[in-house]
């Protein structure tokens, strides 16, 4: 059994439970509970806010790549 949920960043245990996710009021970050099962090292766990940023970057990169491919095809 895992220890009580806590913030992977500041180790704060006074988190706000949303069911599938929880919020750390100190870091102002939201984490997904399933990530604690996925990662052995909790420093690998990303906040939802950070995941959104990564998705944005990946999307921008793949759009750039598509632009480039389209230019070659023209
Ligand atoms: Zn925290």
Write down how long the chain is.
74
Q: How far is the CA of 56 from the centre of ligand 1 (A)?
A: 23
Rounded Cα distance between 24 and 46, Å, is 13
Q: How many CB atoms lie within 10 A of CB 7?
A: 21
Q: How far is the CA of 6 from the centre of ligand 1 (A)?
A: 8
Q: How many CB atoms lie within 10 A of CB 24?
A: 22
pLDDT of residue 1: 41
**Could you state, in order of their start, the residue ranges of all structural domains in the chain?**
16-73
Q: Where are the alpha helices (DSSP H) in 1-74?
A: 34-38, 48-73
pLDDT digits 0-9 by tens, 45-58: 999 999 999 999 99
**What confidence tier does 68 reach under pLDDT thresholds 50, 70, 90?**
confident
pLDDT digits 0-9 by tens, 21-43: 999 999 999 999 999 999 999 99
Q: How far is the CA of 71 from the centre of ligand 1 (A)?
A: 45
The residues, ordered by sequence, that sit 6+ positions from 42 with a Cβ below 8 Å of its Cβ are: 8, 36
């Amino acid at each position: 059994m895992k220890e009580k949920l806590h913030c992977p960043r500041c180790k704060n245990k006074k988190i706000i439970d949303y069911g599938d996710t929880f919020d750390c009021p100190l870091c102002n970050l939201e984490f997904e509970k399933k990530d604690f099962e996925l990662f052995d090292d909790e420093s690998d766990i990303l906040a939802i806010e950070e995941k959104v940023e990564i998705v944005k970057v990946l999307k921008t990169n793949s759009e750039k790549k598509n632009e480039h491919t389209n230019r070659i095809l023209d």
